Amino acid sequence: MNSTAGSHGHHISRQYNADLEEVKKHMLEMGGKVEKQLADALDALIRADSGKASGVISEDDVIDSMEMKIDEECNLIIARRQPAASDLRLVLAIIKAIRDLERIADESSKIAKAAIKVSEQGELPNGLIEFRTLGQQVQRALNTALDAFVRHDAEAALSVVQDDQDVDNEYAIAMRAMITYMMEEPSSISHVLNVLWALRAMERIGDHAKNICEHVVYMVVGTDIRHEKLENIADRLSG
Amino acid sequence: MNSTAGSHGHHISRQYNADLEEVKKHMLEMGGKVEKQLADALDALIRADSGKASGVISEDDVIDSMEMKIDEECNLIIARRQPAASDLRLVLAIIKAIRDLERIADESSKIAKAAIKVSEQGELPNGLIEFRTLGQQVQRALNTALDAFVRHDAEAALSVVQDDQDVDNEYAIAMRAMITYMMEEPSSISHVLNVLWALRAMERIGDHAKNICEHVVYMVVGTDIRHEKLENIADRLSG
């Protein structure tokens, strides 16, 4: 339909492109907002700052409505504009990516909830802030994922998929530190469990950032790379 | 396009309906398979049966390919058949539901991994099998969700969304039992943590079953009910 000649066709096509740009812009606004939620949640946890943590929790509603609005925009584009090929892949990638963004915001709220519980029990002892590196890693993964989405950069996206192993390793290190701490100080168990849940949330955020990158690769090269061997994909991208 | 008169139009329309039926059938096959994975994983955990647990983990690949295949089928239907209105909602609901199913399978694998670790340390002590009720609840939630999908039953779907609160309560009860256990037996901490991860996985499975139900409501009544007050939705369905 978009190739129809004449001014009417032109008009439709211009409007169609504007719709696509608009929904992409909204997704990136949502992405920026989610990045801020994550940064604030991690900061609240490290500083045991319950005020900041409450802010993260109450902002979660804003993210939820952003997701629903964008999802609806995508549905309308598919229904009215019947996009094909790469445009359709873009719209479907957005539909999936916003779900991952919404989950990242959810997990950030969980970190914020843990921060509030932690703040009730005073600041975290030194042995418990082993999660700082993990927090930075997942923030970087999310940032790279969003950036790769804007620039349609499959290789950058793939680097996040590859780095996810580092996130998992860092998570394992932090977990071991927590277990040791609990064994040495059984009275600290419920305190430490709050940190454990926060760690788990960070690890999941890393997974969701990885998912977004998989959507980017699908959008750019048209193949679904989930569950595929990394070497194969890297070969295909460079080949 | 599907309303085109004449035998060609008829032919397209028949093929189109067959495509829709086919993808729905595939989704339900995937659902049945995921139900089995969950049942086996829970059973493996309760019996500390590492053989059964390994079976669950190795079958996870099958679920992954099912999801990718169905996702691709849905993309093709949208691209070639340009479904509108309720057909489009069906296809989009399937795209989303299969992601939740795949996640449920993932969480079932996590339960199976916990079962293997548990089996290495012998059977679970009595205080640690508080999760049985929770396991049954989430199995029922998944079953009802899939059933509501087949029958396009928004009210049944809504009941799962409502019951999710019970799942969360049961989860809290089981969690408290674990914490008490760890405090009394610090040497059991890493043993108990395996069960904690399994509990957490069950709780997430409940969330994903709830998500599927939200997709059912969207598919049937065309509104996105996530993040909405339950009373409002129930009123609208009965109104």
Q: Could you tell me if A190 lies within 8 Å of chain B, comparing CB atoms?
A: yes
Query: What is the reported pLDDT for B141?
Result: 97
- Judge whether B103 and B49 are in contact, CB under 8 Å: no
Mean pLDDT for chain A? 89
pLDDT on residue B105:
97
Q: How far is B59 from chain A (nearest CA, A)?
A: 13
CA-CA distances (angstroms) from residue A213 to A93, A98, B230?
10, 12, 34
What amino acid occupies position B71?
D
How does residue B234 score in pLDDT terms, banded at 50, 70 and 90? confident
Mean pLDDT on B166-175: 90
CATH number of the structural domain spanning residue A117: 1.20.58.220
Give the gap in angstroms from C-alpha B65 to the nearest C-alpha of chain A: 8
CA-CA distance, B193 to B199, in Å (whole number)? 10
pLDDT class of B3 with cuts at 50, 70, 90: very low
Q: What is the mean pLDDT of residues B207-214?
A: 95
Full-model pTM: 0.82
Q: What is the pLDDT of residue B9?
A: 63
For residue range A24-58, list pLDDT tens digits in order. Answer: 999 999 999 999 999 999 999 999 899 999 999 99
Q: What is the pLDDT of residues A67-109, one digit of tens each?
A: 999 999 999 999 888 888 889 999 999 999 999 999 999 999 9
List all residues of chain B from 114 to 173 with a beta carbon under 8 Å from chain A. none
CB proximity B200 to A under 8 Å: yes
Q: What pLDDT, in 10s, does the model give residues B122-139? A: 777 776 777 889 999 999
Residues from chain A contacting residue B85 (CB–CB below 8 Å)? 79
Answer yes or no: do A189 and B182 touch at CB < 8 A.
yes
Question: Measured between alpha carbons, how far is B181 from B188 in angstroms, rounded to an integer?
Answer: 8
Question: What residue numbers bound the domain in which A202 lies?
Answer: 3-238
The tens digit of pLDDT for each residue in A191-212 reads 888 898 899 999 999 999 999 9
Find the range with the poorest average confidence among A38-42, A171-175, B99-103, B128-132.
B128-132
**pLDDT at residue B4 in the model:** 42
> What's the pLDDT at A10?
67
Please state the φ and ψ torsions of residue A130, each to the nearest 5 degrees: -65, -10
Look at the alpha carbons of B105, B106, B110, B115 in this order and tell me if their dihedral is positive or negative. positive
Q: How many domains does chain B have?
A: 1
* Chain B environment of A89 (Cβ under 8 Å): 75
How confident is residue B5, by pLDDT bands cut at 50, 70 and 90? very low
Assess whether pLDDT exceeds 90 at residue A160.
yes
Q: Provide CB contacts within 8 A for B40, sequence distance 6+.
A: B52, B55, B56, B108, B112
The rounded percent of chain B whose pLDDT value lies above 90 is: 60
Confidence of residue B103 (pLDDT cuts 50, 70, 90): very high
